[in-house]
């Protein structure tokens, strides 16, 4: 009986947290950040940020049209690179570049 009460309290706490997040408009997935390497193939994502201290890499990605707020689609992935579509252009990005793109 006591374990059933503990389980009910646990579910009540979880439900209360879910209601709070629904009311505040926050979704746990919105706060998740993943690199392009972790993203799924044939999915369109919105670029959240470019995470690099290398100004040359940042400028190169910007010239491709790869910047915050821009949609990006992963066409395929391989061991050392991935092919993406940015603004109707297909690009082969190595893992170093793909790791810098946060979606």
pLDDT tens digits for 77-96?
Answer: 999 999 999 998 999 999 99
**pLDDT score recorded for residue 6:** 42
For residue 13, pLDDT over 70 is answered with no
- From CA 89, how far away is CA 94, in angstroms rounded? 16
Q: Regarding beta strands 81-86 and 101-102, do their DSSP bridges make them parallel or antiparallel, or are they unpaired?
A: unpaired
Q: What is the pLDDT of residue 25?
A: 41
Q: Is the dihedral of CA 52, 54, 57, 59 positive or negative?
A: positive
Over residues 22-40, the pLDDT tens digits come to 444 434 345 578 999 999 9
Q: How buried is 84 (Cβ within 10 angstroms: 0-12 exposed, 13-18 middle, 19+ buried)?
A: buried
* Closest alpha carbon to 85 in 35, 39, 43, 40: 43
Q: Supply the pTM of this predicted model.
A: 0.67
Residue 10 has pLDDT above 50, yes or no: no
Instruction: For residue 100, give the H/E element and its range.
Output: helix 95-100
């Amino acid at each position: 009986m006591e374990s059933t009460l503990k389980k009910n309290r646990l579910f009540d706490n979880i439900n209360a947290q879910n209601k709070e997040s629904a009311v505040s408009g926050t979704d746990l997935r919105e706060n998740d950040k993943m690199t392009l390497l972790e993203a799924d193939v044939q999915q369109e994502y919105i670029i959240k940020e470019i995470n690099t201290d290398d100004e040359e890499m940042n400028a190169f990605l910007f010239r491709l049209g790869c910047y915050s707020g821009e949609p990006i689609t992963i066409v395929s992935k391989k061991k050392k690179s991935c092919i993406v579509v940015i603004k109707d252009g297909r690009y082969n990005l190595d893992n170093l570049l793909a790791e810098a793109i946060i979606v």
